[in-house]
Structure 1
Amino acid sequence: MSSRFSRISLLACFLAHVALAHAAEEEKSYSISGFGTLGVAHSNTRDVDIVRDLTQPYGVGYTRQTDFGLDSNLGLQINYRANENFDTALQFVSHRSSEGYQPQLTWAYGRYLPNDTVQLRAGRLGFDVYMLADSRNVAYSYQWVRPPIDFFGGLIISYFDGADLVISKPVGAGIVRAKFFTGLAREKTSTGNMDDYLSLNGSRLAGGYIEYQSQNWLYRAGYSELKFKNEFPPLQGLLDGFRSPALNALFPYAAGLGNALSMENKRFKYLSAGIAYDDGPLQAQLMVNRLSSESLLFPANRAAYLTLGYRIDHWTPYMTVSAARPENRKIPASLPTGVSPGIDMLVAGFNQSINNQFNHQTTLSLGVRYDLTEKSNLKLQFDQIQADELFLVRNNQPGWNGKARLFSLAFNFIF
C-alpha cells in the first residue's frame, strides 16, 4: 500500500507542477518538454527473449515474436528557473521495466550554478556512468534504435538519490570537465525469475569521470562503485545450505564459500573509457569497460563497442559492432563431490550460479536513421546476435543455438 501511495503522490506532485507551469507560462520561468519512442521489434526465434537491458523481465522472441514494448517509452520533463544561479527539474519516464510501465520519477533535482566553472546538483539524478548512459531513454538523441545491448545491457541503475559536482575549465581549444557524485540507488531489477527481483534500495553509489571536449572530439574516462545493500533473492537457499552448522562441522570452510558467493555488502565496480568523433557527416564512437565485483556471483567481464555513421542529407546509415567477454571462466573450487546427494546439489548450485553470470555475447548491427523533422526521426535496424552465455537474455529454451536476429523499427520524437 505504501508503494502505491508513493506513486500516487508522485503523480499528484507531477500534475501540480504541470498546472503551475501553465499558470506561470507568461513568466517564462517554467518549461515543459518531453520525448518518446514508438517501436516494434521482431525476432526470428521463439527460443529466447532478447531484452534491452537487465531491468526488463521479458523481451522479444519467446514471449512475443513481434513486440511493441521492447523500445517504446514516453518521458515528460518540467524545468523551473528561479534565477540565473538556481533551477530545478522533474522528469517522469514510462517504459518496460521491473515496475511494468508505471511512470518512474527519474529526475527530481535542484541545481546551483555559482559561476561558469562550478555546477552542484542534489536530489534524484541520472546515472551517467558511460557516455550516453544518462540519456539512453531519449532515442531521438542518438543514431541507433537502442544502445548496444552487449555494452549497456548490464546496467541496472538509471538514477540515484544524492548529489553531484561538476567542475569545468577551458584548456587549449577545448573544455575539461570533472564530475564527482555520491548517493543511494533506489531501483529494483529482474533476476530472470518470475516475480523475483533484486532490490537496489539503499545501495551506496559513488564515482566520477573526467572528460575533454573539443570541437570534434570527446574523450572520457570514469570509475564508479555500487555497494549492494541487499542479497540476491534466488541465492538465499544456496547460501543457507553453505552456512548450515551441520555442513560446517564436516567442512569448516563451507560458510566462507557461501560468503564469497553472497552479494550483500559487496562492491560492484565500473571502469570505462571512450572516444567520440563528430565532424560534418562522419560520426564515430568507441567505448570500452570493465565490470567486476567482490562477489563470486558476478565474475569480471569486459565489453566494447565501435559505431560508425555517415550523414547524407536526411539519412544516416550506420554500423555497430559490440561484444562482451568474461575475463576468466575459472570457477573456484567448491566442496568435494560424492560425499552425499545433498552436498552434490550444493556444489552443482554453486557452479551453476557462477556459470549463469558469465557474459559472452557479440552483436553486429546495421541500420539507418531518417530525420523527418527537427524534432522527429525514423530508424530501421537489423541485429545479428550470438550469445554464448545467457547473462543478457531471458526465457531461453532447451536447444536454443545462441543465435537471434532482430528487425526493429522506431519512431522517435521530442517536444
Structure 2
Amino acid sequence: MKTINPLFFALSFFVSANSLAIDLGHGFTIKGFGTFGLVNSSNGSADFVANSIQPAGAGWTNDTSLVVDSKLGLQLDYQATDRLSFVAQGLSKQQYNKSFAPVLEWGYAKFKILPELHIRAGRIRPALYMLSDYLDVNYANPWVRPPVEFYSSAALDRMEGVDFLWRPSTGDISWLVQPYFGITHLKTPGVGNSFKADNILGINLTGTYSDLTLRVGFGQGDLTLFSPSLSQALSGLSRICNTGLDPTACEQYNAFGITRKNSMFSSFGANWDNGDYFVLGEFGKRISKTKIVSDATVWYISGGARIKKFTPYITYSSYHNDSPATYNGDSNNAFNLGLGATVNQISTALLQGANDMDQNTITLGMRYDFMSKFALKAQWDHIQTSTKDGLAGTGGGLFANQQPGFGNGPTQVDLFSVTLDFAF
C-alpha cells in the first residue's frame, strides 16, 4: 500500500500558494508548520546542537533540552496578479542569543516571466542542499532532524538576493535549474560574533525521472568574520609580523585572514522514493581560502520503509575535517627561536579552536503519522568523534560549549529524541 511521500508534500507546500493552505480571501493564504521536541544527551561535558548558530543544546546546559528542535513557522502568501505574488515567512526557533523571538526567514516577491520561468527577489534561502527550501519543515522530512554532519557545514539560512526557477521538461524528465546570488549578514553565538557573506553565487540543478531525483549544486561567497576572540588571537601574529623579524608570522596572519575570504561548497544528492521505500543521500565538499574555516568532506545516506502509518529509518552521516590540526612551519626561525615557537603555538590553537573536528553518527528512528499532517517521531543517535592524527584535544566533533577534558580523546555520545511535527 502506497502512503504519502513527505517530499512531494513539501514541494507542494512551497510551490503552490493555494494548496495545503488556509484561504483568507482577496488573494491571501496562510500556511503553518512546527515542531515540539525533546532531546536527551548521555554526556554532560558538551552540548549537542543542530547547527553552529545554536548557542545551547542538550548535554552541558541541560541533559534534556527543548530548544534544539522546537520551532514554529507561519507563511503568508499574497497572489497580487496572475504573474506577481509575495511571500513572507516568520520563524521562531532558537537564535544565536538563546532567544526564540520570531524572525523574517523569507520575504520576497515572485514574478512569472514565462510559464516555466520565475524570478524571486528579496530574502530567500540559497539552494545549497537538496532539502534547502523546506529544511525547517520537519514534517516534510523523515527524521527528527536532518543529519547535522552534512547540514551544518554551510550555515547560510537566508540571504538578500535573487534567484531564478526554471522548470523545463525533456521527455519524462522534469528539471529545475536554479541560479542564485546575494549577500547575507548573520549573528552567531558569543559576544560580538557574526559573519558576513558577500558575492554569494551558486546554482542548483535537479532532475526527476519517475521515482528518482538527482541533484548537483555549487555555492560560493566571500566571508568576513567578526569575532573579538579571533581578532585578539590574530593580533598576536600581527605583532610578531610587525617586528619584521619573522616573515612566517606574516604568512600565517594572512592565511588566517577573516576579511573577504572565499569559501565554496559543492554537493551531489540522490533520492529514490516509490512511496513505500526511500533511499536518500548527499555528498559535499567545502573548500575555504582561510584557515579559520576548515576544508571539509561531508555526507550521509538514509533509508526507510513506510508500513501503513509507521516509517522506520536508518541513517549514517559523516563530517571530516580535511585541514591540518597543527602548524610547525616556523620551527627554524633564524632570528628568534622564541618567536617561531609562538607563531606555531598560536597557529595550532587557531586550527584546533576555531574549527569543527571529525564526527560520525549512526541513527535509528521511527516516524508515526497518527493523523493527517501530524507526525510523532522517536530517534536514537550514536555519535562518535575522533581525534585528528591522534592529537589530544581534537576529539570535540561538532559539539558546542565544550568543557575542559571533553575532546581529549575519541568520544561517544548517545542521544534520545522525541518530536511532534505538524503542518497546515
TM-score, length of structure 1 as denominator length: 0.88
Tell me the equivalent position of 2:12: none
**1:334 deviation in Å?**
3.9
2:75 maps to what in 1? 77
* 2:160/2:183 contact within 8 Å kept: yes
Matched, 1:101 2:100: yes
Deviation at 1:345, TM superposition (A): 4.0
Matches within 5 A, 1:7-406: 25-27=24-26, 29-99=27-97, 100-190=99-189, 194-200=190-196, 203-244=198-239, 247-329=242-324, 331-336=326-331, 339=336, 344-356=341-353, 357-388=355-386, 389-400=395-406, 401-406=410-415
Equivalent pair of 1:129/1:222 in contact (CA under 8 Å): yes
- Residue 366 of structure 1 deviates from its aligned partner by 0.3
CA distance in 2: counterparts of 1:122 and 1:114, whole angstroms: 13
How many residues are paired up?
389
Q: 3-state SS of the aligned residue for 1:393?
A: coil
Q: Is the 8 A contact 1:196 1:234 kept in 2?
A: no
Per the alignment, in what secondary structure is the counterpart of residue 238 of structure 1? helix
After superposition, the CA RMSD in angstroms is: 2.1
For 2:126 and 2:402, the matched residues in 1 are separated by 30
Q: Mark the runs of 5 or more structure 2 residues left unpaired by the alignment.
A: 1-20, 387-394
CA drift of 1:91 comes to 0.4
State the Cα distance separating 1:132 from its structure 2 match.
Answer: 0.7
Q: Which amino acid aligns with 2:419?
A: A
> After superposition, what is the alpha-carbon deviation per residue over 1:80-131, rounded to whole angstroms, capped at 9, x for unaligned?
0012211110001111120421111111000011222211010000122001
Query: Hey, what does 1:408 align to over in structure 2?
Result: 417
C-alpha contact 1:39 1:411 (8 A) present in aligned 2? yes
CA shift for structure 1 position 245: 6.5
Report the Cα offset of residue 248 of structure 1: 3.8
| CA deviation vs aligned residue, 1:230-258 (integer Å, no higher than 9, x gap) | 44442212322222277542113422210
The question of whether the paired residues in 1 share the 8 Å contact of 2:327 and 2:347 is answered with no
Which residue pairs with 1:13 in the alignment?
none
User: Kindly, what percent of the aligned residue pairs are identical?
Assistant: 26
Shift of 1:79: 0.2
**347-356 or 324-333: which moved more?**
324-333
CA separation in 1, counterparts of 2:331 and 2:240? 17
State how far apart, in whole Å, the 1-side matches of 2:80 and 2:47 are. 46
Task: Give distance in 1, aligned partners of 2:188 and 2:418.
Answer: 26
Paired residues of 1:228 and 1:265 also in contact (CA < 8 A) = yes
Deviation at 1:156, TM superposition (A): 1.8
Q: Given the superposition, is the C-alpha separation of residues 282 and 245 from structure 1 closer, same or farther in structure 2, using an over 3 Å criterion?
A: closer
- Cα distance in 2 between the residues matched to 1:269 and 1:281: 36
The answer to whether the Cα contact below 8 Å between 2:237 and 2:346 also exists between their aligned partners in 1 is: no
Letter in 2 for 1:217: L
Say if 2:24 and 2:30, in contact at 8 Å, map to a contact too: no
TM-score normalised per structure 2? 0.87
Give the conservation status (yes or no) of the 8 Å contact 2:111–2:119.
yes
Report the Cα offset of residue 268 of structure 1. Answer: 1.0
Mapped contact 1:301–1:359 kept (Cα < 8 A): no
Deviates more, 1:329-338 or 1:147-156: 329-338
State the shift of 1:188 in Å. Answer: 1.7
Give the CA deviation at 1:337: 7.5
Give the whole-Å Cα distance in 2 for the aligned partners of 1:340 and 1:96. Answer: 47
Distance 1:295 1:302 in 2: 16
What's the offset of the Cα at 1:298?
2.0
CA distance in 2, matches of 1:355, 1:153: 18
Tell me by how many angstroms 1:395 deviates.
1.8
CA distance in 1, matches of 2:402, 2:225: 27
Q: Which consecutive unaligned segments of at least 5 residues does structure 1 have?
A: 1-20
**Is the Cα–Cα contact under 8 Å of residues 238 and 346 in structure 1 kept in the other structure?**
no
Whether the 8 Å CA contact 1:120–1:163 is kept in 2: the answer is: yes
Amino acid of the structure 2 residue aligned with 1:335? D
Tell me, in whole angstroms, the C-alpha distance in 2 between the residues paired with 1:397 and 1:235. Answer: 19
Closer, same or farther: CA 296–304 of 1 in aligned 2, 3 Å: same
Does structure 2 retain, via aligned residues, the 8 Å contact 1:248–1:255? no
More deviation, 347-356/158-167: 347-356
What code does the residue aligned with 2:128 have? V
SS of aligned partner of 1:350: helix
- Partner of 2:216: helix, strand, or coil? strand
